Amino acid sequence: MSRTVGALCERAARRSAMSDKVIVTNWTALKKKYGSKVSQIDAAIKKMIAADKARGLDTILLRIDSAADMKKVGGKAVISASNQKQNKNAIDAIDEKLSPDYILILGATDVIPHQSLNNPVYEEGGDDDDKYAYSDIPYACDASYSKDIADFIGPTRVVGRLPNITGDTNPAYLASLIGNAAGWESSAPAKYLNGFGVSTDEWKESTALSLKNLFGSKAKAALSPKEGPKWAATALSRRTHFINCHGSLGEPFFYGQKGDDYPVAHDAAIVESKIARGTVAAMECCYGAELYEPDDGVHPGIANTYLQSGAYGYLGSTTIAYGPAKGNGSADLICQYFLKSVCDGASLGRAALEARQKFASQSAELDPIDLKTLAQFVLLGDPSIHPVKSASANAPKTLKTRGLVDERGERRRALLSKGVMIADNQPVARRVDVKSTPKLQSSLLKLASTQMSNPKLMTFEVDRRSSGLRSAFMKGRMREKSPSTVHVVIGLSKEQPADTNIRPVVAIVAKTVDNKIVSVRELFGK
């Protein structure tokens, strides 16, 4: 941690934001992209600041490449736009000094980079070929710069990103996103409680459970094959989208699946301009929030397209994501938690923070797939937007008004305390250079052989950390033996798509006590 647990808990007790919202960007990078036309971005930001002021939000712009701006917060200017450590340190300095309720990162990864966190299930030559989980979660954490996901399991900050199209030279797209975010309006909850759900046929049971949890027993997913990608206007106009399909690196499509048939289920070019203003989307798909640079003739990604079409918020994965075919887990859960908070009236940024915290604390220990899931899902959208009306959604800050409660400040203090507790107490699985017993290896590989070809086995030890609180709890439950080792087997599915770039990865996660398997879950690359 960059600050001690005691200092953070003290901060939680006395927290009072000096600025409600900080827009963070790299002006040198924007000028390099847009030249003199960067003035369009400047004008759009000024309109956002004015619109926020009318809502009671004190918003400021900080250019992290500006020595003068960073001096105001006691930090150092970013010299190299692509330097991840410099960017992380700059945002840490801003949060330390100003304690903003919302941090809006302005720009795609060619302006402010994702943090490249080591993928715990990556192995050279393996079938999960993401060396890194590209992440914004370090910007939401008080922990100092690191490439270890386990250092960022306790997020405490409300953070979102409004991206340009990576590699673009025309500021019109980003200016339009800023304008859309500046003009947001809350709507009645009913407008968000009839979601548009899409699923592969293979994962229909899992998706049905997700939709039931979100929207009730009458909610049904459209299944691909059979349906899509030319969706009816009535479907696309729904304000909440939940999609559980396959995604592929650098492509503007999501795919369905039935056996070895993988048809296009969702197409950015088809849905462009057909998404209702105010839509909030949660996409389980692999690479669903990848901010790739489109080649000539390639449409921008679905994430960019949703935002361009008026969506307020979009939660998706930057890399290969995982989930079960039946039941819920991994990507299913973090997407559900996010949408549930939004529908309950949270801001987009608070919903993302609450989803991350709930996901990080929902299991007794975070296995390697859990860690990757936590890192790879990013929020695209202005974190201060409240899509759904609630009693306090549009209420201005009331710290200066005697006798009234600063509800947002109270929530932030509670979330800060919760994040600190998770970071200090939640056990995580860490890779170890040891082999399982021959009998255990044989059992796991035999189990994997029914689903995947060329499976590879990795072993992790559960690090229960040194928290006195957790140690006391564990001592009080001596009769319950907790898993000490986690084994992950990963390989490609035997049902390979013929005409797409999809890599249908399958993972089996087994937890063991004394080399005996106590739980197994089967997960599929989205």
- Write the secondary structure of 420-450 as one string of H (helix), E (strand) and C (coil): HHHHHHCCEEEECCCCCCHHHHHHHHHHHHC
Strand order in the sheet with 59-63: 59-63, 21-25, 102-106, 159-162, 377-380, 313-317, 280-283, 240-244, 196-200, 222-224
Please give the pLDDT value at position 443: 86
pLDDT, tens digit, 9 for 90 and up, residues 443-489: 888 888 888 888 889 999 998 865 444 445 444 443 356 778 999 99
What is the Cα gyration radius of the chain? 22
Under-70 pLDDT residues of the chain: 1-18, 391-405, 465-481, 498-499
Single pTM value for the model:
0.93
pLDDT number for residue 480: 54
Predicted local confidence at residue 8, as pLDDT: 54
> What kind and span of H or E run contains 492?
strand 485-493
For strands 516-525 and 505-513, give the pairing.
antiparallel
Give the SS3 label for residue 457. Answer: strand
The 10s digit of each residue's pLDDT in 17-62 is 568 999 999 999 999 999 999 999 999 999 999 999 999 999 999 9
Instruction: State the pLDDT at residue 399.
Output: 40
Residue 438: predicted pLDDT: 85
Distance, C-alpha 217 to centroid of its chain = 27
In which residue are the tokens 């809502």 written? Answer: 55
Quick one: tokens of 125?
């030559």
Number of helices followed by number of strands (H, E) in the chain? 16, 21
Q: How would you class 54 by CB atoms within 10 Å of its CB: exposed for 0-12, middle for 13-18, buried for 19 or more?
A: exposed
Say whether the peptide bond before residue 229 is cis (omega within 30 degrees of 0).
Answer: yes
Of 264, 42, 250, the closest CA to residue 166 belongs to 250
Classify strands 240-244 and 246-247 as parallel, antiparallel or unpaired. unpaired
Whose tokens are 């970013």? That residue is 78
Q: Which helix (H) or strand (E) holds 460?
A: strand 452-463
Please check whether residue 89 is in contact with residue 76, taking contact to mean a CB–CB distance below 8 angstroms: yes
